Chain A
Amino acid sequence: MGSLEKQTDPTSPMHWRGDMQADYFYPSGVAGDKFFKHMMRSDTFLASKCTICNKVYCPPRLYCEDCFEEIPDNNWKEVPPIGAVRLFTVAKLNAHGKKLANPKIIALIDIDGTDSAMLGIIASNDINKDITGVKVKAVFKPKDKREGTIKDILYFEEI
């Protein structure tokens, strides 16, 4: 009967195990490269402002996605790494569903002087506190340990 046979033996259809191995290298992009290189030498962020709608992006962008125009180099500015928590959550499990030794507070932070928000980890002892609206500031790795990625920001802390 070929393939129309019913399978009644649960061990007979087999499975094949394997994995998909690959390593990835993501260049930061034209805008990202400037942002991270700046952050390696200074404790501030860079932002870029659209010449048409005046929207300020942080992290900065090469172009405005709404106006679809390139943002020129002279429309970039430095901003202090300070913002207010727009919303937050407390993660008690890791990505694989296992309990975290120390719960993590993850927040979306509106960066002052810009129209953008960044994700960040909040350093705090009190995971039950409502920190909506609280002002926070980025704490960076020591300059000689910075590598030019988002992890150069260690965490954000309340000010």
Chain B
Amino acid sequence: MVKKKEYKEWPPYAPGTYVRESDIREKKITYTWWEPEVQYSWSLGPAMSKFLQGLKAGKIYGIHCKRCKRVIVPPRMFCEYCFGPTEEWVELKDTGIIETFSISYLDPDARRIEEPILVGVISIDGASPQHGFMHYFGEMTKDDIKIGMKVKAVWKPENEREGSITDIIYFKPLNGGED
């Protein structure tokens, strides 16, 4: 043990050396640069495999948990609430309602864009309430989009589908989007 430092106010100072972006650009400090290359191959597992195969065929599949009495989408092998295996695949509709959305003026690389991207969460018809996934919205403007709006999937042509979430291009308003 040593004598304590008795400062009246804490933190008493802010140790650390501020480096500005210009210091980096103008190489006023030394640094090492590294560009790692890492490749991955993620196994999908049986549930996701079937879900993506379904998307390739133009269908959205959910799966049933008997104990919790819910139809889950995106489907999974086991229910994370009761921790039991899920059973029975259910073919769902390709329509749903908007649970939430955002109007983004940043593209995926955080660059500014003029025309915003509309993205959000869609609860799929046929699944339990508030079960769905994230996707884009199209054929609507930022002033049209609302939570609760009814939407329908717009699919890629069959020969362009690969078994990916992007086999759906976006969700558009269903019948004008009104109830």
Which residues of chain A have a CB within 8 Å of any CB of chain B? 1-5, 7, 12-20, 22-28, 30, 32-33, 36-37, 40, 147-150
Residues from 30 to 51 in B contacting A, C-beta threshold 8 Å = 30-47, 49
Min distance, Cβ A14 to any Cβ of chain B, angstroms: 5
Min distance, Cβ A97 to any Cβ of chain B, angstroms: 15
Whether the Cβ atoms of B35 and A23 lie closer than 8 Å is yes
Assembly CA distance A25 to B35 (angstroms): 9
Whether the Cβ atoms of A27 and B78 lie closer than 8 Å is no
> Which residues on A sit within 8 Å (CB–CB) of B63?
2-3
Whether the Cβ atoms of A24 and B34 lie closer than 8 Å is yes
Min distance, Cβ A95 to any Cβ of chain B, angstroms: 11
* Majority DSSP secondary structure for residues of A touching B: mixed
Min distance, Cβ B49 to any Cβ of chain A, angstroms: 5
> Which residues on B sit within 8 Å (CB–CB) of A16?
41-42, 44
> Which residues on A sit within 8 Å (CB–CB) of B42?
15-18
Point out which of B29, B45, B163 has the most chain A C-beta atoms below 10 A from its C-beta: B29
Instruction: Identify 16 new A-B residue pairs, CB closer than 8 A, beyond the known A26-B33, A37-B30.
Output: A2-B64, A2-B89, A3-B87, A13-B44, A13-B45, A14-B163, A17-B40, A18-B40, A19-B37, A19-B38, A19-B39, A20-B36, A22-B36, A27-B29, A28-B30, A148-B30
Which residues of chain B have a CB within 8 Å of any CB of chain A? 17, 19, 24, 27, 29-47, 49, 52-53, 63-64, 75-78, 85-89, 163
Assembly CA distance A28 to B29 (angstroms): 8
Contacts A2-B86, A5-B46 given; does A26 touch B34 at CB 8 Å: yes
Whether the Cβ atoms of B31 and A26 lie closer than 8 Å is yes
Assembly CA distance A29 to B179 (angstroms): 61
Assembly CA distance A148 to B29 (angstroms): 8
Q: When the two chains form the complex, which single residue of B29, B35, B89 contacts A24, counting CB atoms closer than 8 Å?
A: B35
> Which residues on B sit within 8 Å (CB–CB) of A4?
85, 87
Whether the Cβ atoms of B87 and A2 lie closer than 8 Å is yes
Contacts A2-B64, A5-B46, A22-B36 given; does A33 touch B87 at CB 8 Å: no
Min distance, Cβ B175 to any Cβ of chain A, angstroms: 33
Contacts A2-B87, A17-B40, A24-B35 given; does A30 touch B17 at CB 8 Å: yes
Contacts A1-B87, A5-B46, A13-B46 given; does A28 touch B41 at CB 8 Å: no
Min distance, Cβ A56 to any Cβ of chain B, angstroms: 22
Min distance, Cβ A96 to any Cβ of chain B, angstroms: 10
Q: When the two chains form the complex, which single residue of B27, B38, B64, B88 contacts A20, counting CB atoms closer than 8 Å?
A: B38
> Which residues on A sit within 8 Å (CB–CB) of B76?
3
Whether the Cβ atoms of B49 and A13 lie closer than 8 Å is yes
